[in-house]
Chain A
Amino acid sequence: MVKTAPEELAFIIPLLPALAFVITFFFGRKMPSGGAIVPILAITVSFVISLMITLRLLANPNEVISQSYPWFAVLNIGILIDPLAAVMLSMVSFVSLMIHIYAVSYISGDPGESRYFAETALFTAAMLSLALSDNILQFFVSWELVGLCSYLLIGFWFERPSAAAAAKKAFLTTRVGDVMFLTGIIVLTSDLLKLAGRLSDGTYLLRFDEIFSYIPQLSALQANIFGFEISHLTIITLLFFGGAVGKSGQFPLHVWLPDAMEGPTTVSALIHAATMVTAGVYLVARTFPMFIAAPDSLMVVAYLGGFTALFAGTMGIVMNDLKRVLAYSTISQLGYMMLGLGLGSAIGIEAVSISLFHLINHAFFKALLFLCAGSVIHAVGTQDMRELGGLGKVMPVTAATMTIAALALAGFGIPGTSIETSGFFSKDAIIEAAYLFGEHSNNWVPYLFSIAAALLTSIYIFRLIFMTFTGKPRSNYQGHESPAIMTIPLSILALFALVFGGLTKTGFTAFLEETFANRFVNLDIGSLAVIGQNELLEAAGHEPVFVLWLPMIVAVAGFAIAFMIYYLRIIKLGPLASMKNPIYRLLYKRYYQHEIYTEFFSLGIVYGVIAFLLQILDVIIDSVVEGIGILTVGVSEELRRVQTGVIQTYATGVIAGVSLLIILVKLIMEVL
């Protein structure tokens, strides 16, 4: 195995988990722990191969793996492992591995154990396939498959009506985004078909290199929408971004993610924190050359990302459910990643690296947060923070690791030293980039968003920590520390959350910047930016010192507020945090999105009005058809009375017929 070149093993990365799915699905019930060992082994191998490939790429960034096989028509399936994909692959397989190990204990005893492992294995396969796809269609296919797995896993406890509803909601909401993504692919396909004319054999229409090579022409195509001349490239990228919005829980399609917490906590950790939800970010990063070449697209990304970061934070501070707080936190952090990508309009390719850097770090600490939450829930059996408290003493490992994760999330660290958590590096990099962007374009909105969100982040995560682990138990429960099979993954992840950022900071950026300049694609991001009318910064500017310190100050401030309210309890919120306060109510009701989306739009407009009207139309069409039938039978019943049975009538009929015919024919002949 050692002697084989890694690229020949690349196909194994998604294939093994897929095989594991088949085996676990059919035979898992007969194996111990639902056959958990099969996916764990498979993912271990995947992880090892991913890591080998990543290391080789690190050594020689030009050694990207690119293999394509025809799929159907002009489309292909293939493997592309460039720095971007390599990082993603390693992270996904690693986190997935950790969570699988953790889940052996977490899920044990559940009757659906083997189903759980089968589905997570399938998810991992799909996610890995998404990461290494070399064309947009395969990307979309995997994208949908991870969506399916998310649906199945959220609805894992399908007997709970709330879980079934949440699964449906998740699928449908992301489906809205998916349709936009699909529309983008469709527009792209038809544009490429027009531009390429007749296809020669061996070209794969939707492979990334093929797409990227048409960027200038695509950008030149203009469409007129409501009187605005908009470049096709902008349309396509915005539609792609629409998909990302759905999958990555960005405003306004974020509503499914908090509800998705109905699934097992391990699922939340794997899918709804570390991997699947980042697929949207990965999509934008993957097609970054298109985004940067498309006028206005990155601005939209930046604004929406920044807004989401803030918006989700506001809801995070009022939630009482342990996992929901984390869910909003995830949305918020994904907003940061999007913001980071959006800042590419100023900082170019560096945006991909800072965003991906945050993605990776986030994966570690957010997975950790969820697993810790899972550990708590596993031990206590409730996830309402108002019923928890004082768990720090009972579950020291969990408490410690969760605190580390919280510090990483809040971005604690001292600038310029090495006493820094992973989150600090990546989040601060984004905030700093936002500052640069503001300076560059005199547009400070993204920066303000990001700073405000940082404060909220710190408040809600420490609120969570204090409410859960400090003080006295607020209800009766029997807590205990989780078994080693759960705490070991926690510890490993905690280690990564602490030091990964610091260890890889420099190398990471340089590594990822190679993504679009290698033997697969060789693009000049600078000139693409010109096509997109984006002015890039000449060189990385120097931020004032306070800019470097501000995120840290904000984080500490957040910590202090939470400390005072929830630990020391010297500030009483009282009426401020009651339903009487309209702002609190607005936040607690999550901005009434359920009412607007589900009840007003889906049930009201779509189901109640449009579908209803069409159903009436259907009844009308049907009635016409039925009416003809009823009419015929009715006419028949009446008309048969003509046949009276009286012979004189018959004779009269004959004679009247003769007379009438003579008159009628005469008339017709005259007229003609």
Chain B
Amino acid sequence: MIPLIFYLGLAALLFSIGLYGVMTHKNGIRMIMCIELMLNSANLNLVAFSSYTDTLNGQVFAIFSIALAAAEAAVGFAILMAIYRMHDKINLDELKILRW
């Protein structure tokens, strides 16, 4: 059996990649994808823990979370679409009317 730490390590790696992406990318879609990556790394954690603690909560949680992630992406893309319609671009770093 693969030790738990491997799962956790992978999840942490994915999570970090996601974080890095959120910090560096300018493109809105990429940012949303990175967030998905982060959510999924958490799901991975949950499933791994579920398996190692012999409880089902984790798996249930993961399923809920996947569904929620989908919904989240829907909302996100909807807002992004609206922005695209208005500005003709999806580079989020140019959105800075609101600052200071």
Interface residues of A (CB under 8 A from B): 640-641, 643-648, 651-652, 655
With the chains together, A647 CA to B94 CA distance in Å? Answer: 9
Docked CA distance A647–B96 (Å): 8
CB distance from B11 to the nearest CB of A (A): 16
Q: Give min CB distance, A417 to chain B, whole Å.
A: 107
- Inter-chain CA distance A488–B40, complex, in Å, is 122
Which of these, B22, B96, B98, B100, contacts A651 with CB under 8 Å? B22
Q: For B96, what are the chain A residues with a Cβ–Cβ distance below 8 Å?
A: 644-646
Enumerate B9-29 residues with CB–CB distance to A below 8 Å: 19, 22-26
Q: How close is A642's CB to chain B, nearest CB, in angstroms?
A: 9
Is B26 touching A648 in the complex (CB atoms < 8 A)? Answer: yes
> Are the C-beta atoms of B100 and A640 separated by less than 8 Å?
yes
Interface size class of B (residues with CB under 8 A): 10 to 19
Residues of the A chain whose Cβ atoms lie less than 8 Å from the Cβ of B19:
651, 655
Are B95 and A652 in contact (CB-based, < 8 A)? no
Asked if B2 is at the interface of the complex by the 8 Å CB criterion, the answer is no
CA separation between A17 and B26, bound complex, in Å?
A: 97
Q: What's the nearest-Cβ distance from chain A to residue B73, in Å?
A: 17
- The 3 A-B pairs with the shortest beta carbon distances in the complex, nearest first, are A645-B99, A645-B96, A651-B22
Bound-state CA distance A70–B24 (Å) is: 90
Given A643-B100, A645-B98, decide whether A651 and B93 contact each other with a Cβ distance below 8 A: no
Is B97 part of the contact surface with A, judged by Cβ < 8 Å?
yes
By a CB distance below 8 angstroms, the chain B residues around A641 are: 100
Whether A655 lies near B23 (C-beta < 8 A) is yes
Could you tell me if B99 and A643 are in contact, using CB atoms closer than 8 angstroms? yes
Q: Which of B23, B24, B96, B98 has the most CB of A within 10 A?
A: B23
Task: Give chain A nearest CB distance to B30 CB in angstroms.
Answer: 11
Can you name 25 A-B pairs with beta carbons within 8 Å? A640-B100, A641-B100, A643-B99, A643-B100, A644-B99, A645-B95, A645-B96, A645-B98, A645-B99, A645-B100, A646-B93, A646-B99, A647-B31, A647-B92, A647-B93, A648-B22, A648-B23, A648-B24, A648-B25, A648-B93, A651-B22, A651-B23, A652-B23, A655-B19, A655-B23
- Known: A643-B99, A644-B96; 10 extra A-B contacts, CB below 8 A, are A640-B100, A641-B100, A643-B100, A645-B95, A645-B98, A645-B99, A645-B100, A647-B95, A651-B19, A652-B23
In the complex, chain B residues whose CB is within 8 Å of the CB of A644: 96, 99
Chain A residue at minimal CB-CB distance from B21: A651
Find out whether the CB atom of B97 lies under 8 angstroms from the CB atom of A645: yes
Among B26-45, those with CB < 8 Å from A are: 26, 31
| A651 CA / B32 CA spacing, docked (Å) | 12
Whose C-beta in chain B lies nearest to the C-beta of A644? B99
B25 — which chain A residues lie within 8 A by C-beta?
A: 648
For the complex formed, measure the closest distance between the CB of A601 and the CB atoms of chain B, giving whole angstroms: 59
Residues of A within 8 A of B99 (CB): 643-646
Interface centre among A641, A648, A652 (most CB of B within 10 A): A648
Residues of B within 8 A of A643 (CB): 99-100
Chain A nearest Cβ from B92, distance in angstroms: 5
Closest residue of chain B to A659 (Cβ to Cβ) is: B19
Chain B residues whose CB sits within 8 angstroms of the CB of A655 once the complex forms: 19, 22-23
Bound form: Cα–Cα A646–B92 in Å: 8
User: Given the complex of chains A and B, what is the CA–CA distance between A640 and B24 in angstroms?
Assistant: 22
B13 CB to nearest chain A CB (Å): 15
Q: CB-CB contacts of B80-100 with A at 8 A, as 1s and 0s?
A: 000000000000110111111
Task: Give the residues in chain B near A640, CB-CB below 8 Å.
Answer: 100
Shortest B18–chain A CB gap in Å is 10
Residue numbers in A under 8 Å from B92 (CB-CB)? 647-648
Alpha-carbon separation in the docked complex, A429 to B61 (Å):
121
- Measured CB to CB, the closest approach of chain B to A655, in angstroms, equals 6
Q: How far is the CA of A644 from the CA of B96 in the complex (A)?
A: 8
A647 to B19, CA, bound (A): 13
Contacts of B31 in A (CB 8 A): 647
Q: How far is the CA of A247 from the CA of B35 in the complex (A)?
A: 93
| CA A647 to CA B23, docked complex, whole Å | 9
Complex CA distance for A211 and B83, rounded to whole angstroms: 96
A232 to chain B, nearest CB (A): 71
Chain A residue nearest to B26 in the complex (CB)? A648
Report B-chain residues with C-beta under 8 Å of the C-beta of A651. 19, 22-23
B4 to chain A, nearest CB (A): 21
